[in-house]
Amino acid sequence: MMTILFVCTGNTCRSSMAEGIARHLLKQSGLEDSIMFASAGIAAFSGEPASPKAAAVLEEEGIDLSGHRARLLTTELIETASLVLTMTQAHRRRVLELDPTAEAKVFLLKEFAGCSSSFDDNTDIPDPIGQPLSVYRKVARELRENIQKVIDRYNFT
């Protein structure tokens, strides 16, 4: 079974939201048994819950993040993932510092979704930490749109 790992900084906002959204979208398309999702952060405090604002925004969509616990990115997580999707270039660089052999399977989420080159600053998904709920909603929309493009574009069955 394919495993997709989402990576951000603390694993309490973007990557935890991406994991929840991806599971939800796959369940809606009936493909939930074809892909496993995971998430981690390059500077995560393992065991931390999802950000209350991230959880609240996804709860509005019927997605429950209450069981999410942050975890620190490790080489083992990278090695076991079929695909690693990062939120920023800095996250991608850190993944490759930990495991230089993973280059063929590490992409910015927006790049993998087909939204321009990995060298374009617009391919980063901004960190909503400390921002109002409206920013979290915007980030959730951006994540959903890009994850849906990934699901639509690639046959994961």
Residue 118 has pLDDT above 60, yes or no: no
Residue 54: count other Cβ atoms within 10 Å of its Cβ: 25
Write out the catalytic residue numbers: 8, 14, 127
Mean pLDDT of 119-129: 80
Categorise residue 90: left if φ over 0, alpha if ψ from -120 to 50, beta otherwise.
alpha
Is residue 121's pLDDT more than 70? Answer: no
The amino acid occupying position 97 is E
Q: Tell me what the pLDDT averaged over the chain comes to.
A: 92
Output the CA angle 122-115-151, nearest 5 degrees: 130
Whether 51 has a pLDDT exceeding 60, the answer reads yes
Q: Is residue 80 predicted with pLDDT exceeding 70?
A: yes
- Alpha helices per DSSP H over the chain: 14-28, 52-59, 75-80, 89-98, 109-112, 133-153
Q: What is the pLDDT of residue 7?
A: 98
Return the axis-axis angle of helices 52-59 and 14-28, rounded to nearest 10°: 20
Domain residues of the chain, as ranges?
A: 2-153
Q: How many residues does the chain have?
A: 157
Closest CA to 105 of 85, 91, 75: 85
| Rounded average pLDDT over 109-135 | 83
CATH number of 2-153: 3.40.50.2300
